[in-house]
Structure 1
Amino acid sequence: MEQAIVIRSEIRKCMQEEGFTLGGFSKATEIRGSYLSLLLNHDPHNYPLPMRHFDSMIQALGKPEGWLYECYVDECFITGKPDRRRVEPFLLRCAELGKANCIERVLSRLIENLSQLSVVFEIAEKVHTAGNPQGAVPFYECVAEHEKHQHSETLAISQYRIFRAALGQDLQKNRDAATRFLQFRNRLPVHFQLDGLLQLANTYYTLSDWKRMGECADELIALARVVYQEQHQRKGSKREKASLNTERHLVVYYGQGYLLKATAYEKQGFYEDSRKYIDGYSDLSWFKDLDIIGIEEVNKFKMFAVANSYMLDMLMGHNHMLTDYTNYLASHPREVLFGLAIIVGTANRYGFSIDKTLEELSEEISKFNQYDDIIALGRRLHFHYHLSLYYLDKGATEQCIQNTLQSLNLSVTINNSSMFAQGVALFELCREQATEGQLNCYKKVLEEVRVHERVNLCHLSNKFL
């Protein structure tokens, strides 16, 4: 009650300072004069201040958005109980403006009655749908913390939304997010299950957790197949075909399942098994009812299959395919980063020269810093690290050191402590040949790590720090 009085007192004070009469303020706010008088001059219990009118007053007075919002929290509960007519628009505005403290205060009072959790979830979904997934996290966290039924669909969806919002460039945070969400993946509605499994598999790819990645790929293939069959059984029986409402076309989930499983096998050295799964997505034109988007996705998978077949040839030591693979990459620029990361690694393993390939693709290599999603950052890291080893073997120390420094910076960016340790060991091997500028860059990286604790330093001895 006290805060409600403060709001009205401050508004009247500012009206006077700005020279507003009641009639003038009524016109500026587009609030009927008699009602405006009741809102400002009578008992707040009888005339609570609607959120839309409060914002109109703030704007008319020239105050910044969110002015006196801390006081409006009590307005949401002025009758002793939460009033959704004020609570919901207030929370939506707080999410929009990043008023975390106000959100926390309202939620803590709302969930005194756990029946209000459904309201919290509905508001979370509205914030998310409005294009503000980070702003929705406090609401989903509230549901996750207080929902008592572990198999609740709203709990599973909340955990899924939290997982998606948490994913970023920090591998350790991504690992924690995946671990938290994993147990909820099969409790989701089907369309969320498909998206959730795909995101989990991609996350495990960036974490080099090939076992879990393969398991998620298996689940994705099985679920996509069931959904596909059910959709066409409905069509065959003349039942209405349900809208899937997924982020991607169904063929993407099916094809990605095979692609990810092939990758999991390839990363573990099971190349023939990997090739079998490549065959599984190389031609998906048999998918029924493909629209324009579906056809485009099928063509992409066909291209991926060609690229990944070249990749397997390289990994198996068939270096006579290098020229063909280089030509393929030259005509598919978006595949160059992925392809070169493989080529450099296999060149180191089998001891063949890739100088000509590096020269022919140099223009695309110069554009690698444009790719900054977590998967691309990981590929850039491995490319530069393995290129360092390639130049070290050739005796090209300067190029070795330059690429090592790039790999160290990328390790810090994505918080990859094991690759950071390998990069430090490689730099120390060449330290005596480093220029003063390179040594300064190296010290700067180490200092950043020490000050900001960006990676786990337990791998490193004190002499490096």
Structure 2
Amino acid sequence: MEPANSIREQLTQFIEKNSMTLSRFSEVSGINTGTISRILHGNRPISVSQLIAISSGMGVAADHFFADYVEECFAYSVSMRRIRPFILRSAELNRLDCIEQILYRLLDDLDYATELYEMAEQLFERDQRSAAALLYKSVSEVEKYQHSERLAMCQYRLFLIGQGENLEENLKAAILFEPYVDRLDEGYQLEAFKDLIHVFGSVNKWSEVKDIADKMLQLAKIQYDSINIVDRRNQECKQTVRPLYFYILYAWLIQSTVFEEQGDYTEALELVGLYASGKSWVREDDEESRRVLNQFEEWALANKYLYQMLSGDQKVVKEYANYITQYPEEIFLALRYIIQAANKFNWNIDDILERFSDYITLRTYKTEFGQYNSSIMDQNYAKLLGELALYYLNHNRDIAINRILEGLNFSIQKNNDLNFIKYVIVFLEKCFSSEKSVDKEKLKLLINELQRINT
């Protein structure tokens, strides 16, 4: 293929317009004079580093010639020695259009799949996720009929890249990826299960969460047990993202959460004992294992208080409240559950509400698994306002109507109003079925607001 001439033509015009010699342009660009001459005559291809140097010498942006350079990548012969650095540099400068053009030229050629996948992994590690996604999609398209482990890994990476603040979009990405999870290398399967659990749990798909947690537990136990079988000791074990014992403990934690969501606190409490027991059977004894086991012990103690409280044991409420003061990042969510239990069993928790009044605000926290998804925190904040409204109504407080309106308006702003409607319905039922004095004008305002969002 003949070399692309646009870059050479513009360089020639620049040298002539500025009355420059090749020696002078060599000085300003840092490219050898002989090399410039051979480039201008089309006797050799232009490397990416030379392209950047030419742009610098001409005083234009580093990506000025990138669109033209796509042709250069395929001139003389298809050369990954030029294509690879060009893709990586295009990713750095966010020239996704150039990457797309390169990939279009390489489409359907299995010979390049390995190199494209390796570049995608490099970009993923650099957190250049948009560029990486283009390469993963290209490799997936080329290998869509191969049923390969690499295809599964591409789909896993695309699933991770697709995760954001929109819970419904996250769910769509999870549904697309889920059929590939069993094809992943065992070293990645467990982490993929964890990632899927987070997504399905965020949209209350608890049946799916239970199924995945069961698979995680089974696979993690098999792998953990296998590393101590005598005839396998000398075999290389698959390296997982986290230690194998973590996934066993985490699966039990998730199973208990599922029972919690189903209101079966007896079963949830039994599982608490399992993920609190790690120190009795985990064989590893290093700084990381001690940190992980201590974390699960803390979660177990907190959840033991929680499940006892949600089962109706009022005496643990203050113990739970005292416990969570050690972990300020957990107070916001814990408070929601305390109010929920108070409403269920008609407890007075005025002292706790006063004690934690500074935490009755929308907050964002980081956890071991990263920062809480803001959409999930929005949901929890709306639930907190709904439970507060019901609590104040049950105790004949005028502030009840303000809280339910605040929660409804917040949910409307966050496009989450359908999930909050149940609180409004319960609130209205309680208002009209009781003899408690409630501001009729504010109730009318609430009903009008409901009518507005349904039109």
Equivalent in 158, 163, 178 of residue 162 of structure 1: 158
Which moved further from structure 2: 333-342 or 173-182? 333-342
- Structure 1 length-normalised TM: 0.85
Structure whose residues are more often helix by fraction: 1
SS for the counterpart of 2:211 is helix
Contact 2:91 2:131 in 1 (8 A): yes
Displacement of 1:182 after TM fit? 0.9
Q: Which residue of 2 aligns with 1:362?
A: 357
Q: CA deviation at 1:105?
A: 1.4
Q: 1-side partners of 2:161 and 2:417: how far apart?
A: 23
Does 2:34 correspond to 1:34?
yes
2:249 to 255, 259, 267: 255
Change (3 A) 1:94 1:407: farther
Change (3 A) 1:408 1:367: closer
Identity %: 28
- Deviation at residue 106 of structure 1 after TM alignment: 1.2
The residue aligned with 1:454 is none
Whether contact under 8 Å (1:194, 1:220) holds in the other structure is yes
Instruction: Give the AA of the match of 2:165.
Output: Q
Give the C-alpha shift of residue 181 in structure 1: 0.8
Alpha-carbon separation, structure 2, partners of 1:394 and 1:21: 89
Q: Which residue of 2 aligns with 1:65?
A: 62
SS at match of 1:272: helix
CA contact (8 A) 2:362 2:378 kept: no
Q: CA RMSD in A?
A: 3.1
Assess, with a 3 A threshold, how the Cα gap between structure 1 residues 31 and 271 changes in structure 2: closer, same or farther. Answer: same
Alignment CA distance shift 1:144-1:391 (3 Å): farther
Q: Residue in 2 aligned with 1:107?
A: 103
Counterpart position of 1:452: none
1:410 to 1:31, Cα distance in 2 relative to 1, 3 A: farther
Q: TM-score, normalised by structure 2?
A: 0.86
1:385 touches 1:404 (CA, 8 Å); kept in 2? no
Is 275-284 or 388-397 further displaced after alignment? 388-397
* Map 1:323-338 → 2, pairs under 5 A: 323-338=318-333
The counterpart of 1:302, out of the listed 288, 297, 302, is 297
Looking at structure 2, the residues matched to 329 and 63 of structure 1 have their Cα atoms a distance apart, in angstroms, of 58
The alpha carbon displacement at 1:335 in A equals: 2.0
Deviation at 1:222, TM superposition (A): 1.3
State whether structure 2 residue 187 is matched by structure 1 residue 191: yes
Q: 2:314 aligns with which of 319, 326, 333?
A: 319
- Residue 411 of structure 1 contacts residue 419 of structure 1 at CA under 8 Å; is this kept in 2? no
Structure 2: distance between partners of 1:70 and 1:426: 60
Match of 2:176 among 176, 180, 183: 180
| Cα 1:113–1:61 shift into 2, 3 Å | same
Matched AA of 1:405: E
Query: How far 1:283 sits from its partner (Å)?
Result: 2.1
Pair 1:357–1:24, CA change in 2 (3 A): farther
Partner residue in 2 for 1:405: 406
Tell whether the 8 Å contact from 2:364 to 2:372 is kept in structure 1 after alignment: no
Query: How far off is 1:377 after superposition?
Result: 3.9
Partner of 2:436: none
CA shift in 2, pair 1:48/1:191, >3 Å:
same
Q: Does 1:433 align with 2:432?
A: no
Where in structure 2 are the equivalents of 1:128-147 lying within 5 Å? 128-147=124-143
Match of 1:352 in 2: 347
Q: Displacement, 1:422?
A: 4.3
Residue 341 of structure 1 corresponds to 336
Q: Indicate conservation of the 8 Å contact 2:3/2:75, yes or no.
A: no
> 1:232 is paired with a residue of what secondary structure?
coil
Q: Which piece of structure 1 moves more, 390-399 or 141-150?
A: 390-399
Q: Deviations over 1:210-242 (max 9, x none)?
A: 1111111111111111221223337x8651553
1:363-400, CA deviations, whole angstroms, 9 ceiling, x for partnerless residues?
Answer: 34457255662244443332233223323333445464
The 3 A distance-change label for structure 1 pair 463 and 191 is closer
Q: Distance in 2 between matches of 1:64 and 1:427?
A: 61
Note the 1:43-82 alignment, pairs <5 A: 43=42, 46-79=43-76, 81-82=77-78
Q: Distance in 2 between matches of 1:314 and 1:108?
A: 59
- Residue matched to 2:435: none
| Structure 2 residue 86 is the aligned partner of structure 1 residue 90 | yes
Structure 1 pair 2–384 and aligned structure 2 pair: CA distance change class (3 A): farther
Could you tell me how far 1:145 is from its partner in structure 2?
2.8
In the TM superposition, what is the alpha-carbon distance from 1:28 to its structure 2 partner?
A: 3.5
Q: How far, CA to CA, are the matches of 2:270 and 2:180 in structure 1?
A: 30
Other-structure match for 2:265: 271
Structure-2 residue corresponding to 1:201: 197
CA–CA separation in structure 2 for the residues paired with 1:420 and 1:49: 61
CA deviations over 1:124-172 (Å, ceiling 9, x no partner): 1121122222331111122223323352111100110111111111111
Q: Which amino acid aligns with 2:161?
A: A
Contiguous gaps of at least 5 residues in structure 2: 432-438
Q: After superposition, where does 1:359-398 map in structure 2 within 5 Å? A: 359-366=354-361, 368-369=363-364, 373-374=372-373, 375-398=376-399
For these two proteins, the number of residue pairs brought into alignment is: 439
Contact residue 408 and residue 424 of structure 1 kept, 8 A: no
* Alignment of structure 1 residues 445-464 onto 2, 5 Å: 464=454
